[in-house]
Structure 1
Amino acid sequence: MTDHPNQVSAENVPPSVWRNPWHFLAFGFGSGTLPKAPGTWGSLVALPFVPLWQWLPDWGYWLALALTMLFGFWLCGKVAEDLGVHDHEGIVWDEMVGMWITLWLVPEGWGWLLVGFLVFRVMDILKPWPIHWIDRHVRGGVGIMLDDVLAGVFAWLAMQGLVWLKPLVLP
């Protein structure tokens, strides 16, 4: 048994994750069922999509972000309601979208993906203001998504700073 009712454990992984396509998506293709750090696993699952999305024009990647975010408001709210838990820790679609936001307009390459992953996880875990406030006070699908969307925006700003500084730091 876990100490927190929203934490993922073998006892509280809903079986619907494996039979309901909405639950499967919200649980990051099943990654949210892993017992330790489901948000980290969900963030990792998001990474293979980024090189594919980087083939799109910048506006195409932005459109994909907008669509996955809007879809996530509905998806996360629906699955949370289905499960009867406001923000089940296994719901990681929000982390996936946060990762995709973090890596928009970042150069291609696994090094950038790794740095973006680390920067996003730090923002998502530390939840600087106003992310922490939103996490505690905004409910429903919007509340589930919005803290990770903002963590993604903060991480994106940090990544853009790194992209801009790279020529000044590295030869």
Structure 2
Amino acid sequence: MPDVPWRWTPTIPRVSAISNSRLTPRDLAAPDVLVATGLGAGFLPLAPGTWGTLLGALLWWIAFAGASPLVQVAATATLVAGAGWLLHFLCARRRLHDDPALVLDEVAGVWVALLFVPPELPLMVAACVLFRLFDIWKPWPVSWADREVGGGLGVLLDDVLAGLLALAVIHAGRWAVAAV
């Protein structure tokens, strides 16, 4: 069966099977690279993942702060699915694995971390900081996804799991404070 660009293939290469090629700012001419690098934010100096997180938090605040939980979940699920599709094909076509310039995964991960967080600056900052902490530190299961799952799914999955950990911690903290 021919490989068509719109079909998700079940084969996900292991991390060791992917080369170590890198994106450059010249690649921004390609629309998929432009989106996957957060409109080029992934090429900013020093900690591109942090720039991607800030971009994601800003987009979330503009579009979804104060939105209903259903809208937040639908938007986040749509972003995660779209990011998974885009990163899968981009990484396969360009033989990439978690290139530092790819920040769409950070945008998706921070959207997961911000689910149901009230639009209050301290809480949003705490969710973003926790997300970056878990994304950098990579506790289990984030480390497992980073190490064992290859391709675009692996690029995205570790950030979604880091976002879920941040989501759990931020809401457990809110619950604990409310219980006092």
| Coarse TM-score class (shorter-chain normalised) | 0.7 to 0.9
Question: Gaps spanning 5+ residues in structure 1: where?
Answer: none
State the match for 1:158 in structure 2: 169
User: Aligned residue pairs: how many?
Assistant: 161
Between 1 and 2, higher relative CO (CA 8 Å, sep ≥ 6) is seen in: 2
Q: Deviations over 1:96-130 (max 9, x none)?
A: 11101101111112111211111111110111112
State the match for 2:137 in structure 1: 126
Q: 1:104 aligns with which of 99, 115, 130?
A: 115
Q: 1:85 aligns with which of 84, 96, 101?
A: 96
Q: Deviations over 1:27-61 (max 9, x none)?
A: 01211012311111100111112222134321111
- Pair 84,7 (structure 1): closer, same or farther in 2 beyond 3 Å: closer
Please provide the CA RMSD for this pair: 2.0
Amino acid at match of 1:89: P
Q: 1:46 aligns with which of 56, 73, 85?
A: 56
Q: Deviations over 1:122-171 (max 9, x none)?
A: 110111112111101111111111000000000000010122123356xx
Q: 1:57 aligns with which of 68, 89, 103?
A: 68
Question: Conserved in 2, the CA contact under 8 Å of 1:106 and 1:163?
Answer: no
User: Counterpart of 2:140 in 1: which secondary structure?
Assistant: coil
Q: Deviations over 1:50-108 (max 9, x none)?
A: 22213432111101111111111111122223432222111011111110110111111
Identity %: 34
* TM-score, L = length of structure 2: 0.82
Question: Conserved in 2, the CA contact under 8 Å of 1:102 and 1:155?
Answer: yes
Looking at structure 2, the residues matched to 79 and 111 of structure 1 have their Cα atoms a distance apart, in angstroms, of: 35
* TM-score, L = length of structure 1: 0.86
- 1:70 equivalent to 2:81? Answer yes
Q: Extract structure 1 runs of 4+ deviating beyond 4 A.
A: 5-8
Looking at structure 2, the residues matched to 166 and 68 of structure 1 have their Cα atoms a distance apart, in angstroms, of: 31
- Pair 89,7 (structure 1): closer, same or farther in 2 beyond 3 Å: farther
Deviates more, 1:50-59 or 1:130-139: 50-59
Question: Gaps spanning 5+ residues in structure 2: where?
Answer: 1-18
Looking at structure 2, the residues matched to 28 and 161 of structure 1 have their Cα atoms a distance apart, in angstroms, of: 30
